[in-house]
Amino acid sequence: MSPNDHLGAETLWRWRASPRVMALELFGFVPDPWQGEALDAFAHSPRIAMKSLQGPGKSCILAILAWNFLLCYPRSIAGATSINAPNLYSNLWVELARWKAKAKAKAKGNLLEGLFETTTKEIRHREYPETWKLLARTWKADATPEQIGNALAGLHADYVAWFMDETGDYPDAIMPTVEAIFAGSPKVARIVQAGNPTRLSGPLYTESWRA
């Protein structure tokens, strides 16, 4: 079963070209102006960094973009992470589930639930579970740079992405491993991060695209 069986190729191409359109048609979501900028940028920008204080809806956009990637890019492999495991599962993982439920409520043929199974460790395509999935990745608080790299390594596919929450306090050691997705000439690779700009160093501070 492919997404085309549910939607048709034309709809998927429109949603790939405009995540903002997918957000409206699949979820009934109308973004704030800055959220719309981030949704629009995802179709063509390899890197997006959303910087703001708490409350404006950064995790919401991360989740919508993760669903856009899973749905519109076949056999895609993506990673989701946060500053620690409790934060990942209480924020971004919950947000992913919330938007999956909204898609069901919009009566689009139970699209996301029909295509993807959610567990505590991954969201995987029901027909291609090993080659089409979003993986939850975390590291221990006392992990060394090498251990962080080992925890996050291993994402390879023609369509590959990272969705990173609360990156304002990430150690610099994370980025070389995350950026490895650009190696090997993937067809599409994306890094989307969001966080509070709490310090003058780290991956969120050094990114140039700002929502």
Q: Coil, helix or strand for 79?
A: strand
Domains of the chain: 3-206 (3.40.50.300)
- Sole residue written with tokens 């959610």: 118
Query: Which whole-number Å values give the CA distances from 165 to 51, 151, 170, 195, in the listed order?
Result: 11, 16, 10, 6
| N- to C-terminal Cα separation, the chain | 36
Q: What is the pLDDT of residue 109?
A: 58
Amino acid identity of residue 131, one-letter, is: T
- pTM for this structure? 0.90
43, 189 contact by CB (below 8 A): no
pLDDT of residue 143: 83
Q: What pLDDT sits at residue 201? A: 59
Whole-angstrom Cα distance, residue 211 to residue 204? 12
- pLDDT for res 119: 95
Q: What is the mean pLDDT of each run of 10 residues along the chain (211 residues)?
A: 61 95 95 94 93 75 97 96 91 95 71 92 96 94 82 92 87 84 94 78 57 39
